[in-house]
């Protein structure tokens, strides 16, 4: 501990001065310079805010701003010492922690010492033992452990009914069933009535027994979640700052994938050993990060990025819809740094669309419940029914269909029940909804609407803004309309997740196929490299052999690609998916699956049917069908319990 060299007595120490009783002023003036010259570091942020995007960094009055959002303060991971003024009493210190959403568990790994430790160390020119200068703050549960069992989430969750409404049937099937044309969504109000208990971090010290839920302690699903979150943050940051196909872009893709894998890992990750078999997306750097996470709960790299001025600015700018990395760069070079700066100087934005979206920033940040999505669906359906009685098939897609408890936008897929071409249905529906006050803005609307028919596919894209609930926030709403023959491909496409789509299409590529939101076809030759294509923003020029492979259902698409079907809640890039793709390719190489000659025989009979005959037995995978929902319900139960909210727990149990 004792160091001779005065310039290094605070080496590897990073101090945070708790701003109470005037300590911060004293510290800045007197101690900070000395600490710095003695090899230490001083940090002025104890927590880092991150919520997928930065909300305003310092915001005391966060009344409306995303109360129950995913938004989270994580400990600034570089801090090693909390310095508290001697005069502070332990109660007010605890209240200080409370105000900043910090549980005692979160600072358990830190030295919490009085300012005397700093001044004396400086005076004596050696780093004194922290033990002798501890700031006594412990409240009730300072003897941790005992309060709860070591295995918190092991109770086998009872089987639960799907959160998702049943998969949308084929349009024609519906039409055949007679009068009831526009499908009514079953009134699944269940999850709407479960109060969204806030942040487990808070409930940890609100409730009774204490879970010292830190990262190096013991594995749990909660720890998985936090690890996934770390990777998600890394991916968001790299995405925000990657202005071109580059290293950063690859990092973004990597972290995006690994985060999805971790977030859907079906059991607590015990150690890095669990992840290491993940060949292809788990290398030395990731290993290092996971280790660091187990040690410290975060990543210095991430903390550094999050506190970097340029990164912070980019993340803020990109809360504006249609502002990406390039535009952020422009704004930054003109000296703007915050969202407020942009609002003061909207003229610095390059398009009116972006300026128009300034007013949506706050609302678009907010998530909504499934109930609200369902209400929006009802409204759209009733208008559609009035305009086109019995003609349209309208389903909810996106993360709603994947079963997420909360979503950030509302996605629809619309098809006709018959084979007629897509016309101006969407326009008329949007007009009518606007008239009703439901639809409030159009951000993007494809021009063709079938008439212009400039693309070979007859489809319509609409991105807009709506207000499903009177007085509620404005929401992003997307509607796609496609021809019935493309229904399955469109449904697959707009159900996502994005990472899942990418993996599917990459797999298709490896199988000599091309998968899009319109079709699946066998590729004969490709001109131009993918890299070249990407750089110039074009897609490759692919030549297809024969007609596209006809698929009427999503199942058939999976089958045609040699994959097992995955219902929407499983549409993420998880650890098994890569392996399964691999397996499919291996089978193709054995030639049983992909007999040369192509995907479709001359009669045009779908491959899917043909293959049924010579089906080869394949090893079953563990059925993870409902893992995701169960995980979510489990979390809810835990939070409800922790908050002592018996009713909420009952509801969650009932739902399960």
Partner DNA sequence: AGGCCAATACTG
Partner DNA sequence: CAGTAT
Partner DNA sequence: GCCT
**Catalytic residue annotation:** 289
Give the torsion sign (CA, 566, 567, 568, 572): negative
Tokens of 531: 């890299």
Min dist CB 273 to DNA, Å, is: 16
d(CA 638, CA 204): 10
φ, ψ of residue 507 in degrees (nearest 5): -60, -45
The smaller minimum CB distance to DNA, of residues 245 and 389, is found at 245
Beta carbon of residue 490, minimum distance to DNA (angstroms, whole number):
11
The rounded distance, in Å, linking the Cα atoms of 335 and 62 is 27
650, 627, 644: which is closest to 156 by C-alpha? 627
CA atoms of 8 and 33, how far apart (whole Å): 13
Which DSSP string do the residues of 242-268 spell out, in sequence order? --SSSHHHHHHHHHHHHHHHHHT-SS-
**Nearest residue (CB) to DNA, 140 versus 498:** 498
Q: Which helix (H) or strand (E) holds 650?
A: helix 646-655
Which of 21, 509 has the CB closer to DNA?
Answer: 509
Could you write out the DSSP letters of every residue in 268-331?
Answer: ---SHHHHTT-TTT--HHHHHHHHHHHHHSS-HHHHHHHH-HHHHHHHHHTTSTT--HHHHHHH
Whole-number Å distance between alpha carbons of 191 and 168 = 20
The three-state secondary structure class of 171 is helix
- Tell the smallest beta-carbon distance from residue 508 to DNA (Å): 7
Q: Are 376 and 478 spatial neighbours (Cβ–Cβ below 8 Å)? A: no
Nearer to DNA by Cβ, of 137 and 252: the residue is 252
Do 414 and 479 touch, CB atoms closer than 8 A? yes
Least distance between DNA and beta carbon 416 (Å): 17
Between 243 and 434, whose beta carbon lies closer to DNA?
Answer: 243
Q: Which residues pair with 134 in a beta bridge?
A: 113
- What CA–CA distance (Å, rounded) separates 515 from 563? 14
114 or 514: whose CB is closer to DNA? 514
- CB neighbours of residue 327 within 10 Å: 20
Is the Cβ of residue 281 or residue 358 nearer to DNA in the bound state? 281
Q: Which residues contact 71 (CB under 8 A, 6 or more apart)?
A: 49, 50, 51, 52, 55
527 Cβ contact partners less than 8 Å away, ≥ 6 residues apart? 540, 541, 543
Q: Rounded to whole angstroms, how far apart are CA atoms 68 and 192?
A: 13
In the complex, least distance from residue 280 CB atom to DNA, rounded to whole angstroms: 5
Q: Which two tokens stand for residue 649?
A: 């727990």
Cβ of 158: how many Cβ atoms within 10 Å? 11
Contact 162, 626 (CB under 8 A): yes
Nearest to DNA of 160, 517 (CB atom): 517
Q: Among residues 283 and 346, whose Cβ is nearest to DNA? A: 283
Least distance in angstroms from the C-beta of 411 to DNA: 6
How near is the Cβ of 570 to DNA at its closest, in Å?
A: 18
Nearest distance in Å: CB 197, DNA: 28
The distance of closest approach from Cβ of residue 463 to DNA in the complex, given in angstroms and rounded to an integer, is 6
């Amino acid at each position: 501990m004792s160091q001779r060299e005065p310039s290094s007595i605070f080496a590897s120490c990073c101090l945070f001065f708790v701003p109470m009783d005037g300590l911060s002023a004293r510290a800045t003036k007197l101690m900070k310079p000395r600490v710095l010259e003695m090899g230490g570091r001083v940090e002025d942020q104890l927590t880092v805010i991150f919520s997928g995007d930065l909300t305003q960094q310092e915001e005391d009055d966060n009344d409306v701003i995303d109360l129950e959002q995913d938004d989270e303060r994580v400990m600034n991971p570089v801090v090693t010492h909390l310095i508290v003024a001697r005069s502070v009493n332990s109660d007010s210190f605890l209240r200080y922690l409370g105000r900043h959403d910090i549980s005692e568990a979160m600072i358990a790994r830190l030295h919490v010492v009085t300012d005397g430790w700093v001044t004396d160390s400086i005076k004596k020119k050696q780093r004194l033992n922290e033990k002798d200068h501890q700031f006594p703050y412990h409240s009730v549960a300072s003897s941790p452990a005992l309060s709860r069992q070591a295995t918190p989430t092991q109770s086998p969750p009872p089987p639960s009914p799907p959160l998702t409404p049943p998969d949308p049937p084929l349009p024609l099937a519906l039409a055949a069933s007679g009068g009831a044309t526009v499908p009514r969504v079953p009134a699944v109000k269940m999850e709407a009535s479960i109060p969204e208990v806030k942040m487990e971090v808070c409930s940890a010290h609100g409730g009774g027994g204490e879970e010292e839920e830190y990262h190096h302690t013991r594995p749990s699903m909660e720890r998985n979640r936090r690890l996934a979150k770390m990777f998600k943050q890394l991916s968001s940051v790299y995405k925000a700052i990657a202005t071109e196909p580059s290293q950063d872009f690859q990092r973004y893709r990597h972290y995006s994938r690994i985060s999805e894998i971790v977030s859907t890992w079906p059991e607590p990750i015990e150690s890095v050993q669990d992840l290491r078999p993940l060949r292809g997306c788990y290398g030395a750097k990731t290993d290092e990060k996971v280790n660091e996470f187990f040690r410290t709960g975060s990543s210095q790299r991430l903390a550094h990025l999050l506190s970097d001025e340029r990164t912070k600015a980019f993340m803020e700018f990109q809360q504006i819809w249609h502002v990406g990395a390039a535009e952020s760069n422009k704004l930054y070079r003109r000296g703007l740094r915050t969202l407020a700066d942009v609002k003061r100087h909207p003229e610095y934005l390059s398009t009116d669309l972006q300026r128009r979206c300034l007013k949506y920033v706050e609302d678009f940040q907010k998530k909504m419940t499934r109930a609200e999505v369902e209400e929006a669906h009802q409204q759209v359906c009733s208008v559609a029914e009035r305009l086109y009685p019995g003609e349209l098939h309208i389903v909810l897609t996106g993360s709603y269909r994947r079963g997420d408890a909360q979503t950030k936008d509302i996605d629809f897929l619309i098809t006709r029940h018959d084979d007629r071409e897509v016309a101006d249905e969407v326009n008329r529906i949007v007009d009518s909804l606007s008239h009703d006050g439901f639809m409030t803005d159009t951000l993007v609307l494809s021009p063709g609407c079938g008439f212009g028919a400039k693309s070979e596919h007859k489809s319509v894209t609409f991105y807009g803004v709506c207000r499903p609930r009177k007085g509620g926030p404005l929401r992003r709403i997307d509607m796609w309309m496609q021809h019935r023959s493309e229904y399955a491909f469109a449904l697959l496409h707009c159900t996502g997740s994005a990472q899942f789509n990418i993996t599917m299409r990459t797999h298709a590529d490896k199988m000599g196929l091309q998968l899009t939101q319109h079709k699946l076809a066998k590729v004969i030759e490709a001109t131009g490299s993918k890299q070249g294509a990407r750089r110039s923003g074009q897609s490759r020029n692919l030549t297809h052999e024969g007609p596209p492979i006809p698929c009427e259902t999503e199942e058939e698409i999976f089958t045609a690609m040699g994959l097992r079907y995955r219902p929407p809640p499983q549409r993420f890039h998880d650890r098994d998916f890569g392996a399964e793709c691999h397996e499919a390719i291996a089978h193709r190489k054995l030639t049983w699956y992909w007999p040369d000659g192509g995907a479709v025989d001359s009669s045009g009979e779908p491959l899917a049917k043909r293959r049924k005959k010579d089906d080869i037995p394949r090893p079953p995978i563990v059925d993870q069908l409902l893992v995701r929902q169960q995980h979510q319900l489990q979390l809810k139960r835990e939070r409800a319990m922790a908050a002592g909210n018996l009713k909420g727990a009952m509801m969650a149990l009932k739902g399960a």
